Amino acid sequence: MKFYTNNMTAIELKTILMHRIAEIEDVSFLKAIKTILDSKTQNEVLSLSAAQRDEIISSKKEIEQGLFSVHADLDKNIKEWLHEK
C-alpha cells in the first residue's frame, strides 16, 4: 500500500501513521519509532509575558462565551466575498 504525503494535512498524515504503526509487531522497530517521537515531543517550558498570559485568559473566556468562528464558516465567507468582487 502506497501513501502520497506531498499534499497531506498534518491530521491526515497523523491518521495514516497511527494506522500503519498499529500494524507493526516488531518490538525493536516500535522502540525505535518511540525514540524518534520522544526526541520531538519532549515538553518544553514556555516562558510567557504577563501580556501573553492575559491574552490567553481573555481568549479562553471568549471561547467559553461562544465568541469565535468555525474555520469552515470563515472559508465559506471568504469564498462568498471573493465571488462578489
DSSP notation for 8-77 = --HHHHHHHHHHHHHT---HHHHHHHHHHHHHHH--------HHHHHHHHHHHHHHHTT----HHHHHHH
Q: Is the pLDDT of residue 5 over 80?
A: no
Report whether 31 contacts 37 (CB < 8 A). Answer: no
pLDDT grade for 7, boundaries at 50, 70 and 90: confident
pLDDT (tens digit per residue) in 57-79: 999 999 999 999 999 999 999 99
Q: Model pTM?
A: 0.41
* Residue 47 in this model has a pLDDT that exceeds 90: no
